[in-house]
Structure 1
Amino acid sequence: MIYIFTEALVSTGLGHLGRCTALAEKLVENDKNVHLVVHTDESFPKWSFPCEIIKEKWISESNLNVFLQNLSDKTQTFYVDSYKASLDIYHILKKQCSELICIDDDKRLDYPIGSTILNPGYPGLFLEYDKENYKIITGKEQVLLRKPFRNVKKKQEIKTPPKKILITLGGSDPKNLSIEILQTLVNSYPNMEKYLVVGPGFTNCDELQKLADENTFFYRNLNAERMCNLMLQMDFAITAGGQTMYELDICGIPMVVIETAENQRYNIRGFVEFQGVPEIKLNQLNRIGDFF
């Protein structure tokens, strides 16, 4: 039995849930019995999942202990992908499983010794993990892509300058970057088609609607298949520096990236250094047009 512990919150976005969904898909395809345990709020998406979903506030020690006591099989493999879980939570899980796999972006914690650390992407190449006390799995080939992206064929024809541009900043937009980006594009590129993915944690939807011109289109609650199909229609993308970069890359869509959270830094560094993807700093948003 395999349990994947993660979260989907307004404050954390949907990136962790997305890659845990991809992980669950791959495990189920290999005939594993999988449960996805999600600490969530009203931002939980209307996706289809390949396994049972258990909504549980597992980052609470008392809740987690009760949950674990009710498990009949004590030989499970546990995966954990979290911004929120404390080190004590990981130690509780480590004692209750045969293998603990910590999905990590930036050495967030000193995980329990003997755990496996899975850093699925570029960041692990820049972090000095303790390889004596942990099994380390990292690199771009380890990226967890949802099924539509694993089966996709790259887009071959990209219009330059772009006719269609995608703006995707994650599940929430606490810095209101979408406002500044959309305003810049509407003012400077009125003929360009602008496709903005609005996450469940966006609180600026009214302002965005007021800024929109006749060539602005909004998308919400996209599952993996719809998101993949939307990407394949684009000529360019403006994206946050998380999981979406790998999805755009596999679709063959040119992009520029913005760091919207600190744990994206090494991810972005990998795309910049190894693939030449340009990065826009927060104080450079008015220069977006320089990149396409």
Structure 2
Amino acid sequence: MAFLQAKPLCVFYGNSSHKIGAGHIMRLFALAQAAKAYFQILFIYKTCPDALLDKLKEEGFSTRILSSPLAFNELSSFSASVIFIDDYDLTSDEWHTLEQLKLFKVKLDDGLDCSKYFVDLVINPAPNANLDSYAKRFPSSQFCLGPKYTYLRKEFSICSFKPLNERKNILITLGGTDSKSLAYPLSKSLLSRLPGTTIQLLLGKQHQDQLNLEQLQQQYSNFSLIYNPASVASIMVEAGLAISAAGGTLGELASMGVPTIALITVDNQTPALESPLNNTWYFAIDLRSACTSEVKCKRTFSLLDKVSEEATNLWHDICKRENMSEQARQLIDSKGCQRIIQKLLIGLKTEQEQQ
């Protein structure tokens, strides 16, 4: 009697917290969905909220908390064939530990430093990811560079497209944490400028301004709070305009053809500001100088007023939004993660043949 061979183990390492948001885990989640046909999946982390861990477990993925700093013996004990690494804050010693592991290493990179690493595959979906500069940083690596490798979860491939002129909603989505607490003042400003327009605020969990937001929802019948929807894609495809944090959500919005105002709130989002795509299907506005306290400073209100004014003007310009939507849809499809996993499988096979 023949026995089916067990799938090799693929480990995904990343973290989530109020400070760094949920983006690292969510893009690993998208990759894991594409990888699970070929691998057993294990997520490892130093810090991750229960809500995200529950989401991983609902998908059938195992999870394991790690000691800090990363330890060679602990990582080796998993007997994995592949590890995906998504962490800006690893020390040089921790990187040295990872490089010593005898497995296939994949790094999710955003071009934020110039350090050289020894990994097998590097991913950066940014349109300005330059092969020559990456080859200098990663002399022995293969690459998945550019928008065709955008991280998109399975839900985006099964969502039916809706023409822009049929979309009546404006969507606000500020990431898993909204670290500068912009949701309430931004929503309030938009509601005053666009009376009667349906405005939705997408939240991953209860917000730090929860009471104020709930009062705003009671005050305005055209304003709604949406928490952890079963499908984010189905919310986005109803939006004729989005105001979004400039992280991984931009790729999701592009795949749904949503014209977007992208808000730069932290340094690791600056690639969206410097990208050649800025002022094409999205406009980027730098809000890094906005206050983080509950009592907003004059500068913050001035910046938010700029965002609201841009959104109002764009909302009333359907021709411009339709052009932006078309540019977005031509740029990104839903097969980025599958392309990455296929490149990984080819790399693994080549490595095995050389041994």
TM-score in terms of structure 2 length: 0.72
> Which of 136, 141, 156 is 2:163 aligned to?
156
Equivalent residues in 2 for 1:136-155 (5 A)? 136-155=143-162
Q: Which position in structure 2 is the counterpart of 1:218?
A: 225
> Which of 262, 273, 277 is 1:272 aligned to?
277
Unmatched runs of 5 consecutive residues or more in structure 2: 1-8, 288-302, 316-355
Q: Write out per-residue CA displacement over residues 118-175 of structure 1, whole angstroms, 9 at most, x where no aligned residue.
A: 113335249932446142321001112100112333322435xx73111001011121
Residue 207 in structure 1 maps to residue 216 in structure 2:
no
> Which of 14, 20, 40 is 1:12 aligned to?
20
Q: Which position in structure 1 is the counterpart of 2:254?
A: 249
Residue 26 in structure 1 maps to residue 34 in structure 2:
yes
Q: Which position in structure 1 is the counterpart of 2:313?
A: 290
Distance 1:240 1:142 in 2: 20
Distance 1:205 1:266 in 2: 30
Distance 2:119 2:87 in 1: 19
Q: Which position in structure 1 is the counterpart of 2:71?
A: 64
Secondary structure in 2 matching 1:92? helix
Distance of aligned partners of 1:2 and 1:200 in 2 relative to their CA distance in 1, 3 Å threshold: same
Residue type at the aligned position of 1:238: I
Residue 133 in structure 1 maps to residue 156 in structure 2:
no
Q: Deviation of residue 227 (structure 1)?
A: 0.8
Distance of aligned partners of 1:109 and 1:14 in 2 relative to their CA distance in 1, 3 Å threshold: farther
Distance 2:11 2:159 in 1: 28
Q: Deviation of residue 268 (structure 1)?
A: 4.4
Secondary structure in 2 matching 1:47? helix
> Which of 246, 251, 262 is 2:267 aligned to?
262
TM-score in terms of structure 1 length: 0.86
Distance 1:78 1:21 in 2: 13
Q: Write out per-residue CA displacement over residues 162-209 of structure 1, whole angstroms, 9 at most, x where no aligned residue.
A: 731110010111212212210111211120111101233731212222
Distance 1:253 1:286 in 2: 17
Distance of aligned partners of 1:148 and 1:114 in 2 relative to their CA distance in 1, 3 Å threshold: closer
Larger radius of gyration: 2
Q: Deviation of residue 217 (structure 1)?
A: 0.7
Q: Is this contact kept in 2: 1:36–1:51, CA < 8 A?
A: no
Q: Which position in structure 1 is the counterpart of 2:335?
A: none
Q: Write out per-residue CA displacement over residues 30-50 of structure 1, whole angstroms, 9 at most, x where no aligned residue.
A: x22221213334364242554
Distance 2:45 2:165 in 1: 38
Distance of aligned partners of 1:13 and 1:271 in 2 relative to their CA distance in 1, 3 Å threshold: farther
Q: Is this contact kept in 2: 1:126–1:266, CA < 8 A?
A: no
Secondary structure in 2 matching 1:195? strand
Distance of aligned partners of 1:3 and 1:168 in 2 relative to their CA distance in 1, 3 Å threshold: same
> Which of 39, 55, 62 is 2:64 aligned to?
55
Residue type at the aligned position of 1:250: S
Residue type at the aligned position of 1:26: A
Q: Which position in structure 1 is the counterpart of 2:46?
A: 39
Q: Deviation of residue 271 (structure 1)?
A: 6.5
Greater helix content: 2
Moved more, 265-274 or 253-262: 265-274
Equivalent residues in 2 for 1:97-108 (5 A)? 97-108=102-113
Equivalent residues in 2 for 1:167-206 (5 A)? 167-200=172-205, 202-206=207-211
Q: Is this contact kept in 1: 2:72–2:101, CA < 8 A?
A: no
Q: Is this contact kept in 2: 1:197–1:219, CA < 8 A?
A: yes
Secondary structure in 1 matching 2:170? strand
Q: Deviation of residue 69 (structure 1)?
A: 4.5
Residue type at the aligned position of 1:146: R
Distance 2:75 2:147 in 1: 33
Q: Is this contact kept in 2: 1:256–1:291, CA < 8 A?
A: no
How many residues were matched structurally?
Answer: 283
Distance of aligned partners of 1:125 and 1:291 in 2 relative to their CA distance in 1, 3 Å threshold: farther
Residue type at the aligned position of 1:149: F
Over the matched positions of the two proteins, sequence identity in percent amounts to 22
Distance 2:82 2:237 in 1: 36
